[in-house]
Structure 1
Amino acid sequence: MTAAAVGALRVLVQGGGVGSFPVAVFLPCGIYFPVSVTPAHLDLSLGLAVAEVKKDGGDDPDVTHGAIFSVELKLFPRRTNSAGVYLKAGSGVGVVTRDGLPVRIGEPAVNPVPRQMLRDNIESFFLGLDAARLGMLADLSGKNGEVFENGVFIPFSRLSFLPFSLSVTVSVPGGEVLARRTLNPRLGIEGGLSILGTTGLVIPYSHEAYRETIEASLKFARTNGLDVTVLSTGGKSEKFARKHLPELPDAAFVQIADFYQFSLKKAEELGFSGVIHSVFFGKLMKMAMGFGYTHAHFSSLDFDEFLRKFGRRLAEPLACQIASANTARQVLDILKENGRKDIIEWIAHRALEHSRAFAPKIKSLGLILFDYDGSVLLRRVE
């Protein structure tokens, strides 16, 4: 978004241009990051330019990877005590419709840090212009008489005295469809995608982005009066949990992936009185072994270690079968075939003990363990 906006400004100043060009975006962490921008439209008679950026998610598993972020930028005479940016949601960008997010109802679903980046980089661009070019932009601004609605005004911090402001309308073609694959509908963001971020950088494997999403979802649930949350490890376990907890609203269900400890601590910090884990056996084993982060790369299951913890409850033939197992699913099959539900219950108990250690202030901790076909193996509350 920021790169496209600065690129559109450059097109206005230059009066056009051919082909893509790089824009150096200044990030909150204090570095510049190059982004390729493509001019899409220019109308000097209206003080208007459009530029586009193609999202490159790198290793980040983001539904917006490859999407086009388009910015329509217009200049107009300053109408308030301070010059600034009017930010608007165009096609494919969502608008906030419910409380609980860091953006007010009715505003474009663009988080505070991307807004700050937009303002700061536009100001820096203006500060690099000489008086003649600033005067040219002021002349262009007089050609636009549009009335701006359904947006948010971001005042400049260093250039409040400029005689002109600008509007930035952000669009993402196809964003309405992409948004269905995100949490936006659940969080009350309607009409398209949201623009998130706290650093401006893509974090590999979305660790930071996923933690932000978990925190935003939990805050949203609390703001909307919920006292109990269901922490599922993914879409399938959430789907199964919804069938068995129909009394809970959508906002109660939060997908936490591998962020077991982080999610519990955040739920405790936000004041939830109850947490229900919705899991399959593999994640349950890792929880029972005390792994705060359950990704396979960092918490691979060592069945020998598992047996050291739980083997005293197993007869030697059964212990040997488990020691030779290749997967947690195979361990579960062995336990079921031998009628050892008591071991499964003991593992669940140990998992909840670790949950209690991670978040001692949460009053009620529960767990639903699903078999791989969606049937409930056990439900437990401690």
Structure 2
Amino acid sequence: MERYIYQNGKKLRCGYTTGSCATGASLGALLNLMDKRVEGVEIRALNGWDIPLELHNQERRGEETTASVIKDPGDDPDITRGIHIFSRVAWGKPENTDGYFINERKNIYLTGGEGVGTVTKKGLQVGPGYSAINPGPRRMIFETLEDLIPEGREITIEVSIPEGREKARKTFNPKLGIEGGLSILGSTGIVKPMSEDALIDSLKIELSVWKEESGREDVVFTFGNYGKKFIEENTDYSASEAIVTSNYIGVMIDEAYRLGFKKIYIAGHIGKFVKLAGGIFNTHSKVADARLEVLTACAVIAGEERVTLEKIVGSNTTEEAVSYIKSPAVWKAVGDRALKYLRERTYGEIDIEIAFFSFEEGRLYGSEGR
């Protein structure tokens, strides 16, 4: 599929999702079942693009057929690259339809087989007990196949991924409560290479699952593993309760507000909190930095001497700058400003508390005794 986007000045080839693969494999298997075997199919993605797909592993055994499509994520660094997504299509309906997705016309019964995960927790787009086949792929499969099925006939579809269980260990699935394999994904059917959207969506889902499973109105955010260790060693929370936001703290605060959380506790390294003290809510260095400038401004507020200010602004890292600061008032200035921006972002409707540390000095600041 020769479709491209430009990102950071690079031309990157788009690919197609596991949902598109499942749709193509299902279409190929159905055509074979109807004595219309082909070597390739073309499907319509949900964004309107036509996707040509080559079929593999076509077999027919009486009243059922199988086919597979090889996953091609384009230039996206996707762990599912090159794996086969299989579909088995059979005439008739299953004896027990529990756990099956059924289309509105009641003539297609869809489930997941080997290597497709099973949802075990609430808060996802699929309910507990069902295969992790998201709404977008289900819609693609149903819309692609339903008009081809002869009047009065029914079909059962089982999507499988032989490598799915092993690959899933390197994804968010186990933490999200999706057990035994990968998810069949794709809101449009197209993979846009190196997009942040998939990661952000995964983080939002993790937060939603946490709220559903815990039933709590408070949540703990941190930026990475160092923050989780700090939380474990310095608070009443456990590391397992912390949701790692990476650089997307602003997005996750917005999502916590949308989901109705009443309290947020954020812990992390001083380098991240200095950015928050400057009102920077995507903490990736490519988006904005200004750590030393903000820290210098806070040091001015705290009354640090000029020689110290010059050392701070001339530092190579935040950790180096920390070594020059002697007054706890600097950390209070950083904390106060970070809290100001955080609370403004939630319109003052969420109780937000914070704590931050450096590697050399340990805990530097905690609001409300944190």
Q: How does 1:123-272 map to 2 (within 5 A)?
A: 123=146, 126=148, 162-224=151-213, 225-245=215-235, 247-248=237-238, 250=240, 252-272=241-261
1:76 equivalent to 2:76? Answer no
Given the superposition, is the C-alpha separation of residues 338 and 257 from structure 1 closer, same or farther in structure 2, using an over 3 Å criterion?
closer
Contact 2:298 2:334 in 1 (8 A): no
What letter matches 1:233 in structure 2? F
Residue 77 (structure 1) shift: 6.5
Superposed structure 1 runs of 4+ greater than 6 Å apart = 77-81
TM-score, length basis structure 2: 0.79
Deviations for 1:86-116, whole angstroms, at most 9, x for unmatched residues?
Answer: 2222122111122222212211112212211
Contact 2:116 2:180 in 1 (8 A): yes
1:26 equivalent to 2:44? Answer yes
1:315 equivalent to 2:305? Answer yes
Aligned equivalent of 1:115, options 126, 138, 144: 138
Aligned equivalent of 1:279, options 257, 260, 268: 268
Matched residue of 1:69: which SS?
strand
1:48 match: 65
Q: What is the CA RMSD across the aligned residues, in angstroms?
A: 3.1
Contact 1:96 1:103 in 2 (8 A): yes
1:294 match: 283
Counterpart Cα distance in 1 of 2:199 and 2:278: 23
Matched residue of 1:367: which SS?
strand
Counterpart Cα distance in 2 of 1:209 and 1:290: 25
Name structure 1 gaps, 5 residues minimum: 127-133, 139-161
Counterpart Cα distance in 1 of 2:185 and 2:232: 27
1:350 equivalent to 2:337? Answer yes
Given the superposition, is the C-alpha separation of residues 211 and 324 from structure 1 closer, same or farther in structure 2, using an over 3 Å criterion?
same
Matched residue of 1:205: which SS?
coil
Residue 332 (structure 1) shift: 2.7
Residue 10 (structure 1) shift: 4.0
What letter matches 1:38 in structure 2? L
Counterpart Cα distance in 2 of 1:304 and 1:240: 26
Q: Percent identity?
A: 25
What letter matches 1:120 in structure 2? E
* Worse-matched range after superposition: 348-357 or 32-41: 32-41
Residue 354 (structure 1) shift: 0.9
Residue 57 (structure 1) shift: 5.7
Residue 352 (structure 1) shift: 1.7
* Worse-matched range after superposition: 113-122 or 294-303: 294-303
Name structure 2 gaps, 5 residues minimum: 1-21, 96-101
Contact 2:93 2:154 in 1 (8 A): yes
Given the superposition, is the C-alpha separation of residues 67 and 49 from structure 1 closer, same or farther in structure 2, using an over 3 Å criterion?
closer
TM-score, length basis structure 1: 0.77
